[in-house]
């Protein structure tokens, strides 16, 4: 008897999720808001397992919800809504950490300072914040293959020959793409360079 009740509740939960997802796909903002309010705080707590800063954790959760709404027509969920949201936040948090790690490596590579002191002006701190956004934007502007080669070299520390072998392309192609990537970065970031 108790097994039947558990299976019935599980079926009811799946039906509930199915109805919510259907409403989301149809652009029902009230359902989206209700899902947001139901899961926001628990997901922020979950994100704190990866990110110490509570504001960063909230940013990750907000970004995940933004993408959920933005991509609502194409999202396919085979598990429960709960499992999907927790997994999505986990992935967003890990990607956020990877991005910050890559950004730091790039800043170190090009010689940008990231250790601002209290004596520095608000303008310098603002420039640093603006630089981080600009770096991300510039890397994302590169053609996909060039960006991949650039990130493998600068962020993963792979040598040109290793990249060529991994991507099954010639060494000359890697060299040419890296040269174009560095020229592109210099051109786009010239306002930030000394």
**Residue 132 has what pLDDT?**
67
**Residue 160 has what pLDDT?**
86
**Residue 53 has what pLDDT?**
81
**Residue 168 has what pLDDT?**
94
In order along the chain (194 residues), what is the average pLDDT of each group of 10 residues? Answer: 34 70 89 92 90 85 89 82 90 78 58 45 47 77 90 82 92 89 82 57
SS3 call for 79: coil
User: What domains can be seen in the chain, in order of their start residue?
Assistant: 1-98 (1.10.1740.10), 112-194 (1.10.10.10)
> In this structure, are residues 128 and 100 in contact, taking their beta carbons and an 8 Å threshold?
no
**Residue 70 has what pLDDT?**
87
Cα–Cα distance between 75 and 86 in angstroms, integer? 15
**Residue 77 has what pLDDT?**
78
The pTM score is: 0.48
**Residue 169 has what pLDDT?**
93
**Residue 100 has what pLDDT?**
66
Cα–Cα distance between 189 and 183 in angstroms, integer? 10
Angle between helices 81-110 and 122-141 (to 10 degrees): 110
């Amino acid at each position: 008897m108790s097994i039947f009740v558990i299976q019935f509740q599980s079926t009811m939960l799946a039906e509930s999720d199915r109805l919510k997802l259907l409403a989301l796909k149809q652009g029902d903002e009230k359902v989206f808001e209700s899902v947001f309010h139901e899961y926001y705080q628990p997901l922020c707590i979950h994100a704190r397992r990866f990110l110490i800063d509570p504001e960063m954790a909230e940013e990750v959760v907000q970004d995940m919800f933004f993408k959920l709404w933005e991509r609502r027509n194409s999202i396919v969920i085979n598990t429960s809504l709960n499992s999907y949201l927790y997994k999505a936040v986990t992935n967003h948090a890990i990607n956020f950490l990877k991005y910050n790690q890559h950004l730091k490596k790039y800043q170190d590579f090009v010689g940008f300072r990231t250790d601002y002191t209290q004596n520095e002006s608000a303008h310098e701190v603002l420039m640093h914040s603006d630089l981080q956004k600009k770096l991300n934007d510039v890397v994302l502007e590169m053609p996909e293959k060039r960006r991949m080669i650039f990130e493998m070299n600068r962020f993963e520390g792979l040598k040109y020959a290793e990249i060529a072998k991994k991507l099954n392309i010639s060494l000359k192609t890697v060299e040419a793409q890296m040269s174009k990537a560095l020229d592109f970065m210099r051109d786009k970031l010239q306002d930030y360079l000394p």
